[in-house]
């Protein structure tokens, strides 16, 4: 085994282990009755979907990478490859959608209470719950092409072009269908990222305006006591900015891979590491924002 494979294998083991533990603690916090309040049922629902999607993303991305780095070749057949990559793409899409939904929800919560905004707020919040649940079947349909294009690396079937993941390969046809499909996926991603960015700028402007008002009325010392709404808004802003950062870097590398042919495995490994960072970071941010979840996690950790 090459030293670089050993190093990457250890990195993926650490990422996967930490990610599963932290996401499990967040899910436990929101699933156990008595830990969550009744006032934020919609936000709790969105966070549940987000954490479940992050958990599936870590498992479907991390475990195959670990096995590939430690020299296990062709451990997945065609069906296994299709299911693993399909599950990853679906969970990644749901993670993007629910992060966007969480940003828009928080923007609606802290928005002005004028009549115009109240009508929009009630309509937006009314449809957020059903749309959160619909994100799973929507992403199942959007990523159905993976079930056709992905094969095992052991499969030597001829294709115009192949993109290898180390343990699986994706064939790229020369027809117009492939660029149209990629355009559809890019459109949905850009739409979610645009909404997320708009909500983040909107929340930042409200926080800045509120800071100036509080400083004028009560002085700086009073503002240092951050309200729960402001703390929740700051948390979601951190999640949105982090997602956009990791997504942008990995997208640039994926575009580089598509433009310059079949990339080296080191490029695929870096993309995999980057794409696994957000689900882990997201759970740490959610835990740090919730004091009861933090205490539960620390208690379970020290009891081990």
pLDDT tens by residue, 145-203: 888 888 876 665 555 556 666 678 777 666 676 677 777 888 888 888 888 888 888 88
Instruction: Report the C-alpha gap between 17 and 124 in whole angstroms.
Output: 37
Question: In this predicted structure, what is the pLDDT of residue 294?
Answer: 44
Residue 13 lies in a domain: yes
Residue 254 lies in a domain: no
Residue 55 lies in a domain: yes
Q: Which domain holds residue 78?
A: 1-148+176-213+264-300
**Structural domain count of the chain:** 1
Question: In this predicted structure, what is the pLDDT of residue 298?
Answer: 40
Q: What is the CATH number of the domain that holds 57?
A: 1.20.1070.10
Question: In this predicted structure, what is the pLDDT of residue 304?
Answer: 45
Residue 164 lies in a domain: no
Kindly report the CA angle at 184 between 181 and 186, in degrees rounded to 5? 110
User: 70: which 2 tokens?
Assistant: 């430690």
Does residue 224 have a pLDDT over 50?
Answer: no
Gyration radius (Cα) of the chain, Å = 21
Question: In this predicted structure, what is the pLDDT of residue 296?
Answer: 44
Does residue 140 have a pLDDT over 90?
Answer: yes
Does residue 265 have a pLDDT over 50?
Answer: yes
**Confidence band (pLDDT; 50, 70, 90) for 32?**
low
Question: In this predicted structure, what is the pLDDT of residue 127?
Answer: 79
Q: Name which residue leads in pLDDT, 110 or 296.
A: 110
**Confidence band (pLDDT; 50, 70, 90) for 263?**
low
**Confidence band (pLDDT; 50, 70, 90) for 112?**
low
Q: What is the average pLDDT across 35-58?
A: 78
Residue 86 lies in a domain: yes
Question: In this predicted structure, what is the pLDDT of residue 34?
Answer: 44
To the nearest 10°, report the CA torsion of 123, 94, 243, 81: -170
Does residue 287 have a pLDDT over 50?
Answer: yes
pLDDT tens by residue, 270-286: 888 888 888 888 888 88
Residue 124 lies in a domain: yes
Q: What is the average pLDDT across 106-115?
A: 72
Does residue 53 have a pLDDT over 90?
Answer: yes
Instruction: Report the C-alpha gap between 26 and 273 in whole angstroms.
Output: 22
**Confidence band (pLDDT; 50, 70, 90) for 206?**
confident
In this structure, of 42-46, 63-67, 241-245, 295-299, the range with the lowest mean pLDDT score is 295-299
Residue 229 lies in a domain: no
Average pLDDT, the chain: 77
Does residue 33 have a pLDDT over 70?
Answer: no
Q: Name which residue leads in pLDDT, 265 or 23.
A: 23
Question: In this predicted structure, what is the pLDDT of residue 301?
Answer: 40
Does residue 108 have a pLDDT over 90?
Answer: no
Residue 56 lies in a domain: yes
**Confidence band (pLDDT; 50, 70, 90) for 267?**
confident
Question: Is this model's pTM higher than 0.85 or not?
Answer: no
Question: In this predicted structure, what is the pLDDT of residue 138?
Answer: 92
């Amino acid at each position: 085994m090459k030293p670089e494979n050993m190093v990457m294998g250890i990195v993926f083991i650490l990422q996967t282990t930490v990610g599963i533990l932290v996401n499990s603690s967040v899910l436990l916090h929101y699933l156990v009755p008595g830990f969550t309040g009744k006032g934020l049922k919609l936000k709790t629902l969105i966070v549940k979907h987000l954490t479940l999607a992050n958990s599936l993303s870590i498992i479907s991305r991390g475990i195959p990478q670990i096995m590939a780095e430690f020299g296990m070749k062709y451990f997945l057949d065609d069906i296994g490859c299709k299911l693993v990559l399909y599950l990853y793409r679906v969970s990644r899409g749901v993670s993007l959608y629910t992060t966007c939904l969480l940003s828009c929800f928080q923007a609606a919560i802290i928005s002005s209470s004028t009549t115009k905004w109240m009508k929009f707020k009630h309509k937006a919040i009314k449809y957020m719950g059903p749309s959160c649940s619909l994100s799973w079947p929507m992403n199942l349909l959007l990523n159905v092409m993976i079930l056709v294009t992905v094969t095992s690396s052991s499969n030597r079937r001829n294709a115009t072009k192949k993109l290898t993941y180390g343990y699986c390969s994706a064939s790229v046809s020369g027809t117009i269908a492939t660029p149209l499909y990629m355009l559809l996926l890019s459109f949905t991603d850009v739409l979610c990222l645009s909404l997320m960015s708009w909500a983040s700028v909107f929340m930042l402007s409200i926080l800045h305006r509120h800071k100036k008002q509080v400083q004028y009325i009560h002085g700086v010392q009073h503002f240092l006591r951050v309200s729960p709404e402001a703390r929740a808004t700051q948390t979601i802003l951190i999640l949105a900015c982090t997602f956009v950062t990791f997504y942008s870097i990995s997208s640039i590398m994926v575009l580089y891979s598509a433009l310059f042919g079949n990339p080296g495995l080191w490029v695929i490994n870096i993309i995999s590491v980057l794409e696994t960072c957000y689900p882990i970071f997201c759970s740490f941010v959610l835990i740090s924002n919730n004091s009861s979840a933090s205490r539960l996690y620390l208690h379970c950790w020290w009891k081990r």
